[in-house]
Amino acid sequence: MSIQIAIDGPAGAGKSTIAKILAKEKNFIYLDTGAMYRGFGLYAIRKGVSFEGWDETNADERLGGILDDFTMNIEYRDGSQHVVVNGEDVTDMIRTPEVSLAASKVAVVPAVRLKLVELQRKIAADNNVVMDGRDIGSYVLPGATVKIFLTASAEARAQRRYIELQEKGQTDVTYEEVLEDMKFRDKNDSSRKFAPLTCAEDAIKVDTTECTLEESINRIKEVVESKLC
Ligand code: DC
């Protein structure tokens, strides 16, 4: 049986940075499931889906039948994950604020989740994985070998994301805007009915509000090693 390490938590908690490092060290596959929701979010934008007034009661109808013609493949090149939607590699197009918001919106639709979860489970069955997301320990891989819930205060997460954006040259966004977006997505992700962002009962919670990246990584490694041996 494959080894499955699930890392869940809210946006900006450092899941992907830590999961990538861990996967590389262990020689496991790293699966960023947020990138999959982003891939579908981009697809929905391109199909002209309107997110104005979007909520769980009208989301399905708003998507129309676009899920029927949607295909996704996850490919690995030089150790990096590529998201391929209907044959097109969209990896470099899914990190914009517009796609972040669309991803959070489409993620409330059970049919979308079921389609992506099927692929996530298949990848985890065939490979040793470090998988990060919102519902991995609680829904996608309930029997995962290690479950970690990584969190930090909204302010600390917004501050980290803000610095990251500044370093990337995206200086037109303020800290307050980043914080507001983070709180909006937290609420959206944790309040949906189907497979919301939640800490699985048997997950180990790690709060990194007061930690440096190095301290967070060390803490996670300790947890992983204690579970794997
Ligand atoms: O981790 P991220 O910011 O790239 O995720 C983008 C969105 O996808 C996020 O707002 C919630 C959604 N998501 C989800 O609902 N379930 C997951 N397992 C991963 C992400």
For residue range 148-200, list pLDDT tens digits in order: 999 999 999 999 999 988 998 989 999 999 999 899 889 988 999 999 999 99
pTM for this model (two decimals): 0.94
Element (H, E) at 177: helix 175-191
Residue 108 has pLDDT above 90, yes or no: yes
For the chain, what percentages of helix, strand and coil (3-state, to nearest 5) are there? 50, 15, 35
> At 24, which amino acid appears?
K
Ligand 1 closest atom vs CA 104 = 10
β-strand pairing of 88-89 with 80-85: antiparallel
Spell out which residues line ligand 1, taking CB within 6 angstroms.
11, 33-34, 37-38, 103-104, 107, 133-135, 185, 189
Q: Whose CA is nearest to atom 1 of ligand 1?
A: 34
